[in-house]
Chains A and B, each alone.
Chain A
């Protein structure tokens, strides 16, 4: 199983500013001084292996969209944030315009999680088939409403792919696209749902836009079971713990600290910090990742959790 991240930013897409690009270039040029990087190969190797990630890369700014490669013919996707645009274009560029089958699991219907669909080109082409699964009653309405005047010039009815909406019940197992899928209700404005996706002994948990208030031990236990021995937990770590339980309490997001603890309790193998705070630049997210790895290290018992920070373009093979 492989997981590809097309959109990892929380709440709203963001773009790197000119000032940030300039800062990266200055840092890179100073680091490269006197290194004799006189060929593209040498320069590429230097960028790849010697520069800090936050200088040589960007975490990116697309909102939530994650692809799960199962080894089967169908595309499996979690959420249709702005990252879905890149996914759709890549599918068409590499696989042609027709004959694609998509299964999409929706965490919830807030804008940042559906806004990529009007730009998801496979949905406009006949011969493609998109099934959108979710637990919200107004699942279909949310998609139709954003693809309609006055919000968007192209009406939903102009999408010529076969598009279906399927309501799922939480806490129930389904077999979809070769995966065993279970949804779990999460604490977020209007509710959100996490998904546990299993195939051939590999488990991915997609759990974004989920606040863990931790005032109810039963709820903590239920989430630990949901994360139990997952190979990868994609976890909403938008806020610091202090913010999440003070000024941003009930805003529906969680923290890196809770992510580490839940994965330790669940003995999950990997934690991927996700739904990054839009005001954070690359340096800040890289620092957050370093701190989270340190936290995992100093609080580790007999089980190690590998910590990642998602970025647009990240691929993790389980």
Chain B
């Protein structure tokens, strides 16, 4: 199963939009699709937001991909945030305590506002 990973650029920030279920069947594809965006993400010149609005379920394996992404981003000095959790996914984040270890925002706008004023301006203008 392929996991499409649509991305959009707002000034200095890339936003990716995973969809569907991120579980044992799709987590590796999600990881591979995320990798090029993470690779270019570095301190002061790039930021990354994962907009989960289209994700209906995420398993522990999917959460592990987010944790690895967060670790890599931190090592590169890159700001990474997650936003747009659907109710079920939000509960999974809370029960797994991922809401405490990742930057999580209710909406993309709020994520961009926290990460980059330039990206927020570009988002508002789009």
By beta carbon, the residue of chain A nearest B71 is: A246
Flag if B97 contacts A261 (CB, 8 Å): no
Task: Tell me the complex Cα distance, A242–B60, Å.
Answer: 9
Flag if A242 contacts B101 (CB, 8 Å): yes
Task: Tell me the complex Cα distance, A245–B92, Å.
Answer: 15
Of the candidate stretches B9-17, B46-54, B61-69, B117-125, the one touching chain A is B61-69
Flag if A245 contacts B67 (CB, 8 Å): yes
Q: Which of A258, A261, A265, A298 contacts B88 (CB 8 A)?
A: A298
By beta carbon, the residue of chain A nearest B63 is: A241
By beta carbon, the residue of chain A nearest B27 is: A214
Please, what's the 1-or-0 string for B59-100, where 1 marks a CB less than 8 Å from any CB in chain A?
111011001000100000000000000001001101111101
Chain B residues closer than 8 Å to A243, beta-carbon distance = 97
Q: Which of B24, B57, B71 contacts A217 (CB 8 A)?
A: B24
Supposing A242-B100, A255-B96 touch, asked if A261 and B91 sit within 8 A by C-beta, the answer is no
Q: Which of B24, B71, B95 contacts A257 (CB 8 A)?
A: B95
Please, what's the 1-or-0 string for A207-220, where 1 marks a CB less than 8 Å from any CB in chain B?
00000001101001
Interface of A is mostly: helix
Sorting the interface of chain A by its residue count into under 10, 10 to 19, 20 to 34 or 35 or more gives 20 to 34
Task: Tell me the complex Cα distance, A258–B63, Å.
Answer: 11
Interface centre among B59, B60, B63, B100 (most CB of A within 10 A): B60
Of the candidate stretches A97-105, A198-206, A287-295, the one touching chain B is A287-295
Flag if B67 contacts A256 (CB, 8 Å): no
Is A240 positioned at the interface, with any CB of B under 8 Å from its CB? yes
Chain A residues closer than 8 Å to B59, beta-carbon distance = 261
Chain B residues closer than 8 Å to A90, beta-carbon distance = none
CB within 8 Å of B: which A260-299 residues: 261, 265, 291-292, 294-295, 298-299
Flag if B88 contacts A240 (CB, 8 Å): no
Flag if B95 contacts A246 (CB, 8 Å): no
Chain B residues closer than 8 Å to A294, beta-carbon distance = 91, 95
Chain A residues closer than 8 Å to B98, beta-carbon distance = 241-242
Task: Tell me the complex Cα distance, A258–B64, Å.
Answer: 11
CB within 8 Å of A: which B6-37 residues: 24
Flag if B92 contacts A299 (CB, 8 Å): yes
Task: Tell me the complex Cα distance, A299–B94, Å.
Answer: 14
Supposing A215-B64, A246-B101, A298-B91 touch, asked if A241 and B96 sit within 8 A by C-beta, the answer is yes
Flag if B64 contacts A295 (CB, 8 Å): no
Chain A residues closer than 8 Å to B91, beta-carbon distance = 294-295, 298
Chain A residues closer than 8 Å to B101, beta-carbon distance = 242, 246
Chain A residues closer than 8 Å to B67, beta-carbon distance = 242, 245-246
Task: Tell me the complex Cα distance, A243–B101, Å.
Answer: 9
Task: Tell me the complex Cα distance, A214–B60, Å.
Answer: 8
Supposing A257-B96, A291-B95, A292-B95 touch, asked if A245 and B64 sit within 8 A by C-beta, the answer is yes
Chain A residues closer than 8 Å to B60, beta-carbon distance = 214, 241, 255, 257-258, 261
Q: Distance in Å from the Cβ of A305 to the closest Cβ of chain B?
A: 15
By beta carbon, the residue of chain A nearest B64 is: A245
| Beyond known contacts A245-B63, A257-B92: 20 more, CB 8 A cutoff | A214-B61, A215-B64, A220-B24, A241-B60, A241-B63, A241-B96, A241-B98, A242-B63, A242-B67, A242-B98, A242-B101, A246-B71, A257-B95, A257-B96, A258-B60, A261-B59, A292-B95, A295-B92, A298-B88, A299-B88
Seen from chain B, the residues whose Cβ lies within 8 Å of a Cβ on chain A are 24, 57, 59-61, 63-64, 67, 71, 88, 91-92, 94-98, 100-101
Seen from chain A, the residues whose Cβ lies within 8 Å of a Cβ on chain B are 214-215, 217, 220, 240-243, 245-246, 255-258, 261, 265, 291-292, 294-295, 298-299
Interface pairs (5), CB distance under 8 Å:
A214-B61, A214-B64, A245-B63, A245-B67, A291-B94
